[in-house]
Structure 1
Amino acid sequence: MTKIPTKSELRDWISEHPGEAAKRDIARAFGIKGAARIDLKRLLKELEEEGFLEKRRKSYRDPEKLPPVSILLVQAPNADGDLYARPVEWRGDAPEPRILLTLRNADPALGAGDRILAKLLSVRHDEHQYEARLIRKIGTNPRRILGIFRTGTEGGRIVPIDKGADREWMVSPGATQNAQDGELVEAEQAGPARMGLPRARVVDRLGDPSAPKAVSLIAIHQHGIPDAFPDDVVAEADAAQEAPMTGRTDLTGINLLTIDPWDARDHDDALFAEPDTDAANPGGFIVWVAIADVAHYVTPGSELDREARRRGNSSYFPDRVVPMLPDRLSGDLCSLHEGVVRPCIAVRIVLNAGGDKVSHKFMRAMMRSVASLTYEQAQAADEGRFDDATQLFAADLKALFDAYRATRAARARRQPLDIDLPERQIVLSDDGRVTSVAFKERFDAHKLVEEFMVQANVAAAEELNARKSPLLFRAHEEPSPEKLNALRELAVASGFTLAKGQVLQTRHLNQLLDQAEGTEFDELINMSTLRSMTQAYYSPDNYGHFGLALRNYAHFTSPIRRYADLIVHRALIRAHGWGKDGLSQWDVENLAETAKLISDTERRSMTAERDTTDRYLAAFLSERVGQEFTGRISGIARFGVFVKLDETGADGLVPIRSLGDEYFHHDADAQTLMGDKSGTIIALGDRVLVKLAEAVPITGGLMVELLELNGAVLPRGPGASGGRGKSVRVVSRRPGKERTGKAKAKRKVARKRV
């Protein structure tokens, strides 16, 4: 029989563990299981009513103890100059504890009345009961700087690594954290900016910035991506146990396969397909999509849940991943490893011969992946080239590809946006140096997995809509009228047409892309169409997905790396009554806030990943300064022109001052620059030859010199370097645009002269 602790024992245990203690942690500590948990709950309730315990969400703490992290109010220094603080919230019956602040050299000055967030350590001392270390001042959010530390006679200075940074920061002798000359450091603003350089204090030393593996670390710190899990989160993950079979459908007899990139760090989806034997569905297929049941391990209100919501998603870099969940979950318990039984939420989808979904059914289940395949393996098998792994499951792979080919007909009828731009892949050596930059080859195997993930996402949205359940939709709205008009003007100037005067549909944009396919404008039209799109986001309201041409769409298939998918899983659990770990009332009430938060974290990760790629590309090209490259104009701005290099996909800047001795008029609507003397027009998509003038790995910046435009030598001004023979006037290949640009320039000049 389980021994129930006394109230005194419970109070003593909670006092010895001043961090918040969940009921299940208390039960684990005393070995309480089964029906005995009811008695534990009763005791905790009585202690709470008697004032001995205070409940916070789903955990308890001793009100006579302060939590490890608390908000404090700073008091005036005593006669010895020591700084003390008092807790803002004290609910104990004993006298309020006294707290000594132990400040470090790099900490900002504190004064009486300051509210701070501090980490507390309980001590046995006559004068005070706690010592506190500053985390941050409440109500302040000092600007963070990432840069290279340079020592000086008095302290030092920080040279920021941001591309747009235009000034250095001074560091006083007591605020350097003993940083060494040339080290990468993170600092924050120290006091208001006054005359001269602004002041900063070093808060973290990050090591050698020239080390190849520091590249992604720079982006992680620069964009504030959390890359270290708190101790309590890791402890919670480490304590997780494998899920039981109880209450789940047994799918271990189905040959579910995972198909992922060769370097996949986790496996959260598995597939199986077979012909439908139902006479009412001739030529149809049954497709199973099984997704890791992360919701079983990451429950609402847990430390894991709070940290996953804060991160929003995993962030992927060429040399590392910053996961949303600790490795115990993302790389082990939640990952659908080959030959291992894992919990999942699966959907059985019935397709007809034309690839349309006839029905679907969700279930909470247990599965076992029979093989972990790469895209290359799956593609080779489809082409008749089998290895030892794929030979065993040749029939299963054939059924998967047959089902996928059936969906292509339905996809063609639906007409999702079909933008075709190559994706680059940076290949690193073991020490983190770039060995090559290539464009990823796209197989039918990639499209197969994507298509069945879309099918599962649609089924999840439709299922929850039908059950009137709250959820997070993946929303993607149509382009704005302004961006659409700009795309239409560009299409007309390139000799194509884009429908006007009707409700825009993706098929209209696909028709434009089809017109451009195979022409010199192919990449330009694809790039411009992509840029005209709005950014997708998460929302509790259903605005549809324009790009996919779908009315109902939610993210369901990647709960290991996206919090939105975890919310959808919880919604399915709650809607079907599969357990108590479904969508909580707090989840429902804060759905809009969660949607905003994870939309922002997604954009943060995208920016950090792009910056990292830029830095790696700059490092790769830094040894090729002075060489010539072909490319296309990818962006037009008042200050210059961006060129996308054919070989690597890197973007280089041509400063407008390097274009010659004439003035270039910027037409933001037409996205052109026009020379006021030569009439030269530089526009999106123009073919160019450039010389690499500068590559700065620490910022990712590339400067290039424009040599040829559409095969003609650009006229050079006196300030330009070098030359390539006789300069000629460049004639625009868009006479309509040239006349428009000239007319606009004349009007601008005329207005200035009046």
Structure 2
Amino acid sequence: MSDTPRRTGTFPDKDTILGFIRDSATPVGKREIARAFKLSGTADRERLKELLKELEADGTVERGRGKRVAPPQSLPEVAVLEVSAIDPDGEVLARPLTWTGEGKPPRIFMMPEKKGHPALAVGDRVLAKLARVNDRLYEARTIRRIEGTVGRVLGVYRPAADGGRVIPTDKRNKTELMVLPANRNDAEADELVLVDVLPAGRLGLPQARVVERLGHTAEPRAVSLIAIHTHGLPTDFPPAAVREAQAASVPSLTGRTDLRAIPLVTIDGADARDFDDAVWAEPDGDPANEGGWHLLVAIADVSFYVRPGSALDRAAYERGNSVYFPDRVVPMLPEALSNDLCSLRPNEDRACFAVHLWIDRQGALRRHQFVRGLMRSAARLTYEQVQAARDGAPDEVTAPLLETVLQPLYGAFACLWAARGKRGTLDLDLPERKVRLDDRGRVAEIAPRERLDSHRLIEEFMICANVAAAESLESAGMPGLYRVHDQPSPDKQESLREFLGGIGYALPKVLTLTPSHFTRILAKASGKPESQLVSEVILRSQSQAEYSPENIGHFGLALTRYAHFTSPIRRYADLIVHRALIRAHGLGPGGLDDTATAGLEDIGEHISAMERRAAAAERDAVDRFTAAFLADRVGETFTGRVSGVTRFGLFIRLDESGADGLIPASTLPDDQYEHDEHAHALVGQRTGRVYRLGAPVTVILVEADPLTGSTLFALPKDQDADHPLQSGHQPGAPVRKTPSASRKRDRGR
């Protein structure tokens, strides 16, 4: 590393930083630059980040894990591209078919296809016109598709006189596809099929060939199958990975701590399919810690079975995480591990990675110790069971555990909960939908997911263990992955401050916001008509949590150090943290290797993207199940609230089921509506009608399509003109009639 002079009281300029990068024998990143010039604090980090972006945009340095001086490597104005992925937001990503530059090629986002043209699919090749956004980002528009390439589309087969039609399940794709008899592959009416779009050879509808039949759309499994295929979730494990999982077995006690005499218990949902964390607590016997507690959190030792570079490791990395649907799981690991050896089933020996936690009476973490052990769960409990026992109604399973196991857990939880309140953690606690299926796999009920103290107990134990993991990595100087959550960006802060100020709430203008600033506003709004609105706009102002080797803290939890340690069975990030701790503390085989250590930034970016993909697929499935639940109620009237405002319409969330749907702007009472982003409202330019986020509304269900997940609403025709949703002059509710903003393509969420 270069001996460039360190910071002497002024922020280094571009030339100084460029000289440091040039003189370094190896590529350097933000962390090394910040350390060299003694830059610390949010303001310095943000300034450095912007300066490096400018250097990248100038083409002076390359972007990647390490900065290095390099000439700019631009793409031509017209190039052949191959569609490489579709991200969770539905954006189509492409890459140049040929790339001779060093490192990864720039990111390319494809603009939407022209009306009447099939949507692009992974594997399609196109001749495209490129527009450079910056040195590492381009936008591209299709000039023409390359002859002989195909796009794969998921849809429903319907017979027709000239063969058949395929109706895409993607609600963004409105183009039907023609299937000639020779290309039908015996598909039957209303079957879910995968088709390849054939090269255009004549006028009329695009043609397609059925390549896979996935079952009848009337089957309950069709809903999650659509979500799986739409988001490209891998469902089959490579044979080598399956063989490795099936060959695994519980290790001996050699090199492990025997924890089998401790009555650890798992507490999960009644429908949980895997049990990878167990807990136990007792009063701390140390006289210096009067009123404190000794906690033990034991996690399945996935790192023992999934070694770096193995077939299992490659498959887990590709997935990034498990994906949970109401009727199935797409696991990160094969069943032999996820449902067996890494599931902490009662009265069976299981390898675990555990952390002893000592907290004081205020809930502060005093010290911790990580061990690899062998455990035996005393019981598999549900949240409802534990809560009932706590409330005085134990059953035959919880009654023997009430005094010795459950009461100490709640005692420790009380201290952790008090510490959470003292930190000022941001608790939006917005309702979450739970889809309950009947024995035939059909939707029986959609209701808000209940939040019990037993849920909060497990969350607080897991948070404490995650904090200990992050502190341990940092104190050992061991690279790892942190779960980071930045404070809202300055632009979002200012927009939120302006909006809240208009309805009587003051967000202070301070250098560094804390969650307590938001918590006080939420407390002030609690119980008032605008409570939901305040929660929604605060939620929308927040940054997105992600995984990074650079620790910037977790804003929402008000924690300076936080990592994910507690679910390696379903999150690759936790597996990385386990491996890093094993290497840091010399705890045996399966530690983080040098290759992963050098690539942590790339790993963090990949699994953050996979997390977003999983969340989108899960939302998609819930939307489709919800549409199926409502399909027989078209024409009925419901109450709800405006949950989103866009230039193309209003998103409505129903009170009864939490179902989300759209009122298209074109169906609103006759007027020209402008989208006021800052006020979260659509404003009628002639009538002054205002449709605002959080407002109550009565709607009629117009459409509920399980195949596309599309739910459409309309306002009743006899809607009262004085309805509070339409009032343009509510006290303290700011609405500015400004020209609608152009669409913003925010690539950095």
Shift, 1:590, TM fit: 2.4
Alignment root-mean-square deviation, CA: 2.5
Q: What is residue 371 of structure 1 aligned with on the other side?
A: 379
Going from structure 1 to structure 2, the CA distance change for 1:343 and 1:498 (only over 3 Å counts) comes to same
Q: 1:594 and 1:382, CA in 2 relative to 1: closer, same or farther beyond 3 A? A: same
Give the letter aligned to residue 418 of structure 1.
Answer: D
Partner residue of 1:713 out of 710, 719, 724:
719
Q: Which amino acid counterpart does residue 604 of structure 2 have in structure 1?
A: A
User: 3-state SS of the aligned residue for 1:643?
Assistant: strand
Contact 1:142/1:188 (CA < 8 Å) preserved in 2? yes
Give the Å deviation of 1:154: 5.3
1:270 paired residue number: 278
Query: Deviation of residue 553 (structure 1)?
Result: 0.9
The match for 2:199 among 191, 200, 219 is 191
Q: What are the superposed Cα offsets for residues 113-169 of structure 1, whole Å, 9 maximum, x if unpaired? A: xxxxxxxxxxxxxxxxxxxxxxxxx99985331111234455543211111112122
Go from structure 1 to structure 2 and tell me whether the alpha carbon gap of 1:189 and 1:445 turns closer, same or farther (over 3 Å shift): same
Question: Residue 153 and residue 628 in structure 1: after superposition, are their counterparts in 2 closer, same or farther (change >3 A)?
Answer: closer
Determine the structure 1 residue equivalent to 2:172: 164
Could you tell me how far apart the structure 2 residues matched to 1:340 and 1:727 are?
A: 61
- Give the match for residue 219 of structure 2: 211
Q: Which of 680, 693, 698 pairs up with 1:689?
A: 698
Match of 2:398 among 371, 390, 405: 390
1:239 paired with 2:247, answer yes
**Which residue is 2:318 aligned to?**
310
Partner Cα distance (1:308, 1:222) in 2: 20
Of residues 141-150 and 442-451 in structure 1, the stretch that sits farther from structure 2 once superposed is 141-150
Q: Does 1:515 align with 2:524?
A: yes
The one-letter code matched in structure 2 to 1:713 is: Q
In the alignment, the residues of structure 1 paired with residue 630 and residue 600 of structure 2 have an alpha-carbon distance, to the nearest angstrom, of 45
Matches within 5 A, 1:112-261: 142-152=150-160, 155-191=163-199, 196-261=204-269
1:621 deviates by 0.8
- Tell me what 1:732 maps to: 728
Q: Where does residue 352 of structure 2 map in the other structure?
A: 344
Matched, 1:553 2:554: no
Partner of 1:75: none
The 8 Å contact of residues 538 and 598 in structure 1, kept in 2 or not, is answered as yes
Is the 8 Å Cα contact of residues 197 and 208 (structure 2) preserved in structure 1? yes
> Which residue identity does 2:636 align to in structure 1?
Q
Residues 1:563 and 2:572 are matched in the alignment: yes
Q: CA deviation at 1:406?
A: 0.9
Displacement after TM superposition at 1:747 (Å): 13
Measured in 2, the distance between the counterparts of 1:675 and 1:363 equals 63
1:531 deviates by 1.6
Deviations 1:688-726 (A, max 9, x none): 111111111111111111139xxx9345xxxxxxxxxx9
The TM-score normalised by the length of structure 2 is 0.76
For residues 583 and 139 of structure 1, the distance between their equivalents in structure 2, rounded to whole angstroms, comes to: 46
Quick check: 728-737 or 149-158, which moved more?
728-737
Q: Do the aligned residues in 2 keep the contact of 1:267 with 1:337 (CA within 8 Å)?
A: yes
CA separation of 1:501 and 1:541: change in aligned 2, threshold 3 A: closer
2:682 and 2:692 in contact (8 A); partners too: yes
Report the CA distance between 1:203 and its aligned residue: 2.6
* Residue number in structure 1 paired with 2:362: 354
Q: Deviations over 1:61-102 (max 9, x none)?
A: xxxxxxxxxxxxxxxxxxxxxxxxxxxxxxxxxxxxxxxxxx
Deviation at 1:312, TM superposition (A): 0.7
Q: How does 1:404-415 map to 2 (within 5 A)?
A: 404-415=413-424
CA displacement 1:585-640 (0-9 Å, x = unmatched): 22222222221221111111111110110111111111111111111111111221
Q: 1:654 deviation in Å? A: 1.0
What does residue 129 of structure 2 align with? none
CA gap 1:192/1:479 in 2 versus in 1, 3 angstroms:
farther
Residue 374 (structure 1) shift: 0.6
Q: Where do 1:598-613 residues align within 5 Å?
A: 598-613=607-622
The secondary structure found in structure 2 opposite 1:430 is coil
Counterpart of 1:677 (choices 673, 686, 706) is 686
Judge conservation of contact 2:155–2:169 (CA < 8 Å) in 1.
yes
Distance 1:383 1:139, change over 3 A: farther
Give, in angstroms, the shift of residue 735 of structure 1: 4.8
* Structure 1 counterpart of 2:54: none
Matched-pair contact (CA < 8 Å) for 1:472–1:554: yes
Among 731, 736, 740, the residue aligned to 1:741 = 736
CA-CA distance at 1:183 after TM superposition: 1.4
Matched, 1:698 2:693: no
CA contact (8 A) 1:219 1:609 kept: yes
Q: Distance in 2 between matches of 1:193 and 1:316?
A: 41
Identical-pair percentage? 50
In structure 2, what is the equivalent of residue 10 of structure 1? none
Distance 2:244 2:614 in 1: 25
CA distance in 1, matches of 2:618, 2:687: 40
Q: Number of aligned pairs? A: 597
From 495, 498, 516, give the equivalent of 1:486: 495
Contact persistence 1:494–1:734 (CA under 8 A): no
- Determine whether 1:590 maps to 2:599: yes
- For 2:613 and 2:201, locate their aligned partners in 1 and report how far apart those are by CA, in whole Å: 27
**C-alpha distance in structure 1 between counterparts of 2:499 and 2:453, whole Å:** 32
Give the letter aligned to residue 734 of structure 1: Q
Task: Name structure 2 gaps, 5 residues minimum.
Answer: 1-122, 124-145, 743-749
Alignment counterpart, residue 629 of structure 2, candidates 614, 617, 620: 620
Counterpart for residue 417 of structure 1: 426
Deviations 1:369-424 (A, max 9, x none): 11111111111122222111111111221111011101122112211111121122
Amino acid at match of 1:731: S
Which residue number corresponds to residue 121 of structure 1? none
The separation in 1 between residues aligned to 2:148 and 2:469, in whole angstroms, is 42
Contact 1:671–1:684 (8 Å) recurs in 2: yes
Counterpart of 2:470 in structure 1: which amino acid?
Answer: A
The separation in 2 between residues aligned to 1:487 and 1:309, in whole angstroms, is: 37
Deviation at 1:728, TM superposition (A): 11
Choose from 295, 306, 317 the match for 1:287: 295
Query: Which residue identity lines up with residue 220 of structure 2 in the other structure?
Result: P
CA distance in 1: counterparts of 2:683 and 2:488, whole angstroms: 27
Distance 1:276 1:670, change over 3 A: same
CA contact (8 A) 1:183 1:209 kept: yes
Given that 1:213 and 1:431 are in contact with CA atoms closer than 8 Å, whether structure 2 keeps it comes out as: no
1:127 corresponds in structure 2 to none
Q: Determine helix, strand or coil for the equivalent of 1:393.
A: helix
CA contact (8 A) 1:475 1:553 kept: yes
> What is the CA–CA distance in structure 2 between the aligned matches of 1:195 and 1:487, rounded to whole Å?
51
Q: Is the 8 A contact 1:714 1:728 kept in 2?
A: no
Partners of 2:739 and 2:382 in 1: CA distance: 55
Distance 1:728 1:528 in 2: 19
Give secondary structure in 1 for the equivalent of 2:356.
strand
**What is aligned with 2:660?**
651
CA distances 1:211-266 after superposition (whole Å, capped 9, x unpaired): 22210111001111011222222122111122111110011111111111111101
Cα displacement (A) at 1:173 = 4.8
TM-score (norm. length: structure 1): 0.76
Shift in Å, 1:668: 2.2
Q: 1:582 offset after TM fit, Å?
A: 1.1
Structure 1 residue 746, shift from structure 2 partner = 12
- Contact kept, 8 Å, 1:692 with 1:705, in 2: the verdict is yes
Are 1:707 and 1:714, in contact at CA under 8 Å, matched by a contact in 2? Answer: no
How far apart in 1 are the matches of 2:564 and 2:741?
50
The offset of 1:289, in angstroms, is 0.4
Between the aligned partners of 1:695 and 1:152, the Cα distance in structure 2 is: 24
CA distance in 2, matches of 1:141, 1:564: 36
